[in-house]
């Protein structure tokens, strides 16, 4: 069985023959599709993505982004299972730099607020 494993360690079964830009996940129903969509959108969850065959890691990627809208195709097979096809691309250096700056800014903003509270409390 082939699987995809995200940063948060959630695993999902995928169809054989997956490539980075063409992955089809196999889900029990549309509720499971909603949960899978949440996994794809979870902040930081595409920072490390692994592909496994049984328990053997067959591919490992860092800093990924969805290649376009979430799904290029959603279908239901004869067993009633939901098949959803999507793809990834590696983030550009610019995207990674912007994310780093944004994270640093959040840290800096928090430190400034903490300092302002300390100074304001002394008055």
Q: How many CB atoms lie within 10 A of CB 35?
A: 11
Strands 64-66 and 23-27: unpaired
84-123 pLDDT tens trace: 999 999 999 998 888 888 877 877 878 888 888 888 766 4
In angstroms, what CA-CA distances link 122 with 109, 115, 119?
20, 11, 5
The pLDDT of residue 76: 96
Structure-block tokens of residue 44:
């930081």
Q: Find residue 26's DSSP bridge partners.
A: 83
pLDDT of residue 120: 79
Rounded to an integer, what distance in angstroms lies between the CA atom of residue 2 and that of residue 51? 7
Task: Kindly report, residue by residue over 12-43, the tens digit of the pLDDT.
Answer: 999 998 889 999 999 999 999 999 999 999 99
Span 49-76, pLDDT tens digits = 999 999 899 999 999 999 988 899 999 9
Which residues are CB-contacts of 42 (< 8 A; sequence separation ≥ 6)? 6, 8
């Amino acid at each position: 069985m082939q699987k995809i494993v995200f940063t948060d360690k959630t695993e999902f079964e995928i169809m054989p023959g997956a490539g980075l830009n063409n992955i089809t996940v196999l889900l029990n129903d549309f509720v499971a599709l909603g949960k899978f969509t949440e996994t794809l959108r979870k902040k930081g969850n595409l920072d490390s993505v692994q592909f496994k065959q049984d328990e053997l890691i067959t591919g490992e990627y860092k800093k990924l982004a969805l290649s376009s809208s979430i799904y290029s195709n959603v279908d239901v097979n004869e067993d009633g299972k939901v098949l959803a096809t999507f793809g990834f691309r590696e983030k550009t250096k610019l995207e990674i730099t912007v994310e780093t700056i944004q994270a640093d800014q959040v840290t800096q903003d928090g430190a400034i607020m903490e300092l302002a509270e300390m100074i304001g409390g002394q008055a």
